[in-house]
Amino acid sequence: MASQTNCSVDIPAGRGRRILAQAAAGLLRTLWHCRFGLVDAQRRRKIVGQQARRFCEAMGPSFIKLGQLASVRPDVFAPETVFELERLQDRIAPVSTRVIREAITRQLGADPDRVFADFDDEPLAAASVAQVHRARLRQAYRPVRGAVLPAGTWVAVKVLRPGIDSIIAADLAIARRWAQRLSRFRRLARWGPIELVDEFADMLGRELDLRNEGRTADRFGHDFKDDPQVRVPRIIWRHSTSRILVSEFVEGWRLNELGAAERAGIDARRLAIHGADVFMRQVLVLGYFHADLHPANLFVTPEGQLCFLDFGIVGTTTAAQQEAIAQVLAGLVYGDAARALRYSRKLGLEIPETQVEPIRAKIEQLVHTHLLAPATADVRGFALGFLSTLTDFRVRIPAGYGLLIKALVTVEGVSHAIYPDLDLMEAAQPFATRLIAAQLMRPERLRERVAAARSAAMEALLA
C-alpha cells in the first residue's frame, strides 16, 4: 500500500480542494471553541479531538479508517483526541447488490447463486472498507479447526468495496503531501508525520488483504480451542481471497444490544470476568491481542459465549514486555504506583530523573482517585489522566505501551457492557498474582535470584 501512494496517483478533481476546505473550516471552528487558545489545555485537546472526529466522518471511508488507526495510537495523539476518535461511526451507505455480486463473480469465477446455496442481497453490515452479506454453503467444508461444516451452513461473506484501493491511495497521497508540509515545522517534525502516514498506509494495506484477518482469526481460534466460553468463527478458505473473506455465521447479541432479558439467560458477571481473563491471557501469555474491540466486533451468543470478530488490528508483546506488563498491572491493582511506574520505564517509558517524583505523585493521586477510592474502579478515567499527565510533562509514550493502555480501557468497556458493576481491577487481581508467581518460579529467574542472594551473603560475611 505504501508503494502505491509513493507513485503517481490520480486524485479525483476537486477532492483535494474539498478536503482542504473542510480542514480549514474545522480549524476555524476549533479556534473559536477554544477561544483562540484561552481555554485550559485539557479542554482544548478535547475540542481538537471532537473536530478531528467530525472531519473524518465528513471525509468518508479513507479518513474514517485513518481516524480509527489514530485512535489506537496514544503515543502520537493527545489522549483526549484518541478517546474521541474511537467514537467514529464506521457505518455508511451500502454498495449496490449488483456491484457486490460482480465483485464476487470476478474473485470466485462464478455468480454468488452458483457458489452458495443461498445469497442474501440485503447486507448485514456496511462499513467504510467492506460490507457483509449472509449466505449458505452449497457444499460441506472441513475448516482448519473443528468439525466439518455441513452443506446449508450459514456463513458471513465479507467483501471489500470495489474501488476502495484507489480511493484510499488517492487520499493517502493527499495526506502525504500535508505530512511533507508539516515536516517543515520543527515542532511538528519531531512527531514524524511522513513516517506516520507511511505506517498507516502499511496498516491499511494489510487490512485490504482479507487473508491476513482470516489467518489471525484461525490462530486466535486455535489458541482458545479448549475454552468453551470463547467462540471464533471458522474461515471457509475455499471461497476466500484477498478481497473476500467467508466465515462461519454466528448468532448473538452485540454488546450494545445486550439488555436485561439477554443478561438473565447468562451468567453475566462470570462472563465479564472471563472476558477480562481472555484479554490478559492474550497480552501476557500468547504475545498478541485483539486491539480493536468494540460493540460490532464482539458478540455474546445465546450459549453464553464471547464471540470475537474482525482481527484487522492486532497488538503484540515480547516475553520481556509480558513480564514488565504483569508487574505494571500488579502495581495498579494493588495501588502501588511506584511499582507501576518503575516497570513502565522497562517498557520504554523514558522519564527524566527530575520528573520521576512529580509524575509518581500524580500517578499515586490518579490511582487513589480512580482505582481505589470508588466503589468500582474507573480504568478509563485513570488511563485518560495518566496519558494526559505524560503529555503535560512532554514524556514520549512508546507505541506498544500506548496501544496496551488503550486496549485495557476497551476491555473495561466490554466488561461493563456485559456486567455493568464489574470492577476490572478486582477481577484482574487473581490473574496478575498467579502470573507473577509463575514468572518468579521460572528456572532462569530462580537462578538469577540465587546468584543475587549468594552475592549478598558474601558481602555480608566479608563486611
Asked, for residue 219, whether it belongs to a domain, the answer is: no
Residue 170 · residue 10 · CB < 8 Å: yes
Which domain does 373 fall in, by range? 251-447
Distance of CA 462 to the CA centre of its chain: 55
**Is residue 267 assigned to a domain?**
yes
Together in a domain, 195 and 268: no
Reported confidence tier of residue 106, pLDDT bands at 50, 70, 90: very high
pLDDT higher than 60, residue 1: no
Quick one: 192 and 258 in the same domain?
no
Q: What is the pLDDT of residues 429-438, one digit of tens each?
A: 777 777 667 6
HEC-encoded secondary structure of 26-75: HHHHHHHHCHHHCCCHHHHHHHHHHHHHHHHHHHCHHHHHHHHHHCCCCC
Q: Does residue 151 lie within any of the structural domains? A: no
Q: Check whether residue 180 and residue 327 sit in a common domain.
A: no
Nine-digit cell string for 171:
487520499
User: Which of 207, 235, 267 delimits the end of a domain?
Assistant: 207
Q: Are residues 266 and 177 located together in one domain of the fold?
A: no
Over residues 241-291, the pLDDT tens digits come to 999 999 999 998 887 777 765 777 788 888 988 988 898 889 888 998 887
Residue 406 has pLDDT above 50, yes or no: yes
Looking at the chain, the whole-number percentage of residues with pLDDT higher than 90 is 27
Domain contains 18: yes
Assigned domain for 400 exists: yes
Give the cell for residue 132: 457483509
Q: How far is CA 57 from CA 53, 64, 89, 125, in A?
A: 6, 6, 7, 17
Q: Report which of 392, 411, 401, 396 is spatially closest to residue 344, judged by C-alpha positions.
A: 401
Kindly list the distances between the CA atom of residue 344 and the CA atoms of 288, 323, 324, in Å, as whole numbers in the listed order: 19, 11, 7
Q: Which of 462, 434, 186 is nearest to 329 (CA)?
A: 434
Calculate mean pLDDT across residues 386-390.
86
Q: Residues 275, 182: one domain?
A: no
Q: What pLDDT is stored for residue 314 in this prediction?
A: 84
Higher local confidence (pLDDT), 346 or 240: 240
Nearest residue to 19 via CA among 57, 59, 54 = 59
What's the pLDDT score for residue 244?
97
Looking at residue 443, its pLDDT comes to 62
Residues 181 and 271 in one domain: no
Judged by average pLDDT, the poorest of 68-72, 132-136, 279-283, 335-339 is: 68-72
Give me the number of domains the chain comprises.
2
What pLDDT is stored for residue 347 in this prediction? 85
Question: In this predicted model, what pLDDT tens digit does every residue of 108-163 receive, in sequence order?
Answer: 999 999 999 999 999 998 888 899 999 999 999 999 999 999 999 999 999 999 99
Are 311 and 174 members of one domain? no
HEC secondary structure over 363-385? HHHHHHHHHHCCCCCCHHHHHHH
294 and 195 co-located in one domain:
no
34 and 174 share one domain: yes
Asked if residue 19 and residue 84 are part of one domain, the reply reads: yes
In a domain, 388, yes or no: yes
Angle between helices 319-333 and 337-346 (to 10 degrees): 160
- Report the pLDDT value the prediction gives residue 421, as an integer from 0 to 100: 87
Residue 321 clears pLDDT 80, i.e. is over it: yes
Q: Which residues are identified as catalytic?
A: 292
Residue 127 lies in a domain: no
Query: Are residue 328 and residue 273 in the same domain, yes or no?
Result: yes
Are 176 and 286 within one domain? no
Q: Which residue has the cell 479448549?
A: 226
Confidence of residue 455 (pLDDT cuts 50, 70, 90): low
In a domain, 348, yes or no: yes
